[in-house]
Amino acid sequence: MSQNNNMESEQLLQEVTARAQVWLGEGYDQETREAVQAMLDNEDKTELIESFYRDLEFGTGGLRGIMGAGTNRMNIYTVGSATQGLANYLKKNFADMPLISVAIGHDCRNNSRKFAEISADIFSANGIKVYLFESLRPTPEVSFAIRELGCQAGINLTASHNPKEYNGYKAYWSDGAQVIAPHDTGIIDEVNKIASVAEIKFERNPELIEIIGEEMDKIYLDRIKTLSLSPDIIAKHHDIPIVYTPIHGTGVKLIPASLANFGFTNIIHVPEQDVVSGDFPTVVSPNPEEPAALDMAVKRAIETNAELVMASDPDADRIGIAVKNDKGEWVLVNGNQIVMLMLNYIMTTYQERGLIKGNEFIVKTIVTTETIKTIAERNNIKMYDCYTGFKWIAAIIRDLEGKERYIGGGEESYGFLAQDFVRDKDAVSAMSLMAEIAAWAKDRGMTMYQMIQDIYIKYGFSKEKGISVVRKGKQGAEEIQALMKAYRENPVKSLAGSPVTMVKDYQTLTATDANGNVTKLDMPCTSNVLQYFTAAGDKVSVRPSGTEPKIKFYIEVRGIPMATYADYDNANRLADEKIEAMKKDLCI
């Protein structure tokens, strides 16, 4: 066995060395050649192997990876191959159009502007018109611009909330949504056909590149303002003290402007985090899901006696918030609760203001809390479930366009979309509406914390816990595959003492009950997701991340009684005990 492992390691090293030596050729710039030579010269071959053991995969979500030289890294050549492949696909797909156009945006990350400009060069060299944002912009504005300008596609250079060493490349179609079938596989095929750096057209055509910026910002912000449901209440409570931080990212561009556009006059900044930086100097991780990312904002809230803390991630598509509990302590609101607050407000206000026409619908992802389904049913509003990722929410919006009216949708990973004129999650509109919710709560004599409790009292208590098991590199990817295989071959029989009554496997699109009866799942395609449902009403979802080296577990416990505010702490305690028991059953 040891001899076989040594042979495999030796063969792998030979393969990556051969791949790396190609990158010493004249088609690559000096900086790249020097970086590759240093890896080849290093006695420790770990970096060489990780950089060249595979091609950085252009998947259905585009590219995402660590920046650096190599086939498995984000650099001008892997970005260039992706752009050339996309350009080739667009020219085939829109062969009859006199001029194909694309919109390009980017976030605050190191090299994002460089990658955006190189992509603009390549598109223009291929005869494609480019609308390039003048500087960093939120991801949702790129989606908006594609639709507004009538583009056939668009790209955004961002790695969302990943650590600072990462960057990414998101591809969008003409509807402003991230690409799905058949275009995703069509683009992937064209990208995979790029066999040499010589096939990438880097020579820009400046006549085909148009810089866009403030005019698009104004159109976008004015459209977002139309989402406001309670301008009268904002007028009464316009001076609510709200702390906002962009965590060094693109949100600094438009979120304060949108809040002002809604009528809020007391937005408190965290000056150190208004500084745009791809190094994210004040945080370990620029992820609003992480409590530490909001530490400085919470400290500022304590100093200023603010009533709400809000944070956006680097590309301003995700929203994080913190509120004061009944003891005056600042606590984070999780992603499920954020979606729950947003949809509860929208549906309740639609009912109160007589805006219901009978064709409204909302969307949530399959791993998001089932409490949202209960709220929708009680308000006689249709709810659709979809796969994780806003491209699937966008697909439902597109399928129902002209038939039913979308009024909101979200996922547990801190993403929400309140409108159909953008087709990706949008922190700009979500934060504007969250501030409106704070005003709405105040007008009712409630805190935001009490509003969350009110929802649980009215619709039933639930608690969710997301757990990510990180497994980096080639070995990690293999371990994640092995874990999913084990869960399929040896399904969990019970969770926290409650028998599993249903297993849904989205890879085979089957649902199997406790008696072995199998039914088909109605989904647009397969996905590597497993779900367990128990007799107690609990739900566990397991899936490998599509963008990060981790396997994710989504645990939701239900059925714990909560009749009054006084029951909330005990309900949480019982839920935590139940979650710990489920983790043991899942061996995590």
Long-range contacts of 270-274 (CB under 8 A, 24+ apart): 270/243, 270/244, 270/245, 270/296, 270/297, 270/300, 272/296, 273/245, 273/246, 273/247, 273/248, 273/297, 274/245, 274/246
CATH superfamily of 221-449: Alpha-D-Glucose-1,6-Bisphosphate, subunit A, domain 3 (3.40.120.10)
Q: Which two tokens stand for residue 374?
A: 């209960």
- Looking at the chain, the number of H-run helices and the number of E-run strands are 18, 23
Give dist(CA 560, CA 547) in Å, integer.
Answer: 34
In this structure, how many other beta carbons lie within 10 angstroms of the beta carbon of residue 376? Answer: 21
The C-alpha atoms of residue 46 and residue 43 are separated, in whole angstroms, by 9
Residue 160 annotated as catalytic: yes
Q: Of 552, 512, 515, 559, whose CA–CA distance to 537 is shortest?
A: 559
Q: Which CATH code is given to the segment(s) 462-585?
A: 3.30.310
Residue 108, classed as helix, strand or coil, is coil
Contact 151, 136 (CB under 8 A): no
The domain limits of the chain are 54-212, 221-449, 462-585
**DSSP code at position 179:** P
Q: Are 177 and 391 in contact (CB under 8 A)?
A: yes
Catalytic member of 160, 174, 413, 432: 160
In three-state secondary structure terms, 175 is coil
pLDDT for position 1: 40
CB-based burial of residue 265 (10 Å sphere; 0-12 exposed, 13-18 middle, 19+ buried)? exposed
CA atoms of 400 and 398, how far apart (whole Å): 5
- 3-state DSSP assignment of residue 126: coil
Q: Which two tokens stand for residue 192?
A: 């995979």
Strand pairing of 405-411 and 360-365? parallel
- Classify residue 127 as left (phi > 0), alpha (psi -120 to 50) or beta: left
Query: How many CA within 13 A on the CB side of residue 370?
Result: 15
Q: Give the architecture (CATH level 2) of 54-212.
A: 3-Layer(aba) Sandwich (3.40)
Measured CA to CA, the distance from residue 446 to residue 355 in angstroms comes to: 24
Instruction: Kindly report the pTM of this predicted structure.
Output: 0.93
Q: What is the pLDDT of residue 474?
A: 76
Q: How many CB atoms lie within 10 A of CB 213?
A: 13
Buried b / exposed e over 127-163, threshold 16 CB at 10 Å, is ebbbbbbeebbbbbbbbbbbbbbebbbbbbbbbbbbe
Closest CA to 113 of 131, 130, 129, 137: 137
Q: Concatenated DSSP letters for 462-473?
A: EEEEEEEEE--H
Task: Give me the residue label for tokens 């990208």.
Answer: 191
Structure tokens of 169?
A: 């490349």
CA-wise closest residue to 427 among 438, 443, 415: 415
Same fold, 54-212 and 221-449: yes
Per-residue pLDDT of the chain (588 residues; tens, 9 = 90+): 445 566 678 899 999 999 999 999 999 999 999 999 999 999 999 999 999 999 998 887 789 999 999 999 999 999 999 999 999 999 999 999 999 999 999 999 999 999 999 999 999 999 999 999 999 999 999 999 999 999 999 999 999 988 999 999 999 999 999 999 899 999 999 999 999 999 999 999 999 999 999 999 999 999 999 999 999 999 999 999 999 999 999 999 999 999 999 999 999 999 999 999 999 999 999 999 999 999 999 999 999 999 999 999 999 999 999 999 999 999 999 999 999 999 999 999 999 999 999 999 999 999 999 999 999 999 999 999 999 889 999 999 999 999 999 999 999 999 999 999 999 999 999 999 999 999 999 999 999 999 999 999 999 999 999 999 888 877 888 888 889 999 999 989 999 999 999 999 999 999 999 999 999 999 999 999 999 999 999 999 999 986 677 899 999 999 899 999 999 999 999 999 999 999 999 988
User: What's residue 24's pLDDT?
Assistant: 97
Six token digits for residue 405 = 């009216």
Beta carbons within 8 Å of 39's beta carbon, 6+ residues apart: 20, 45, 47, 48, 51, 69, 70
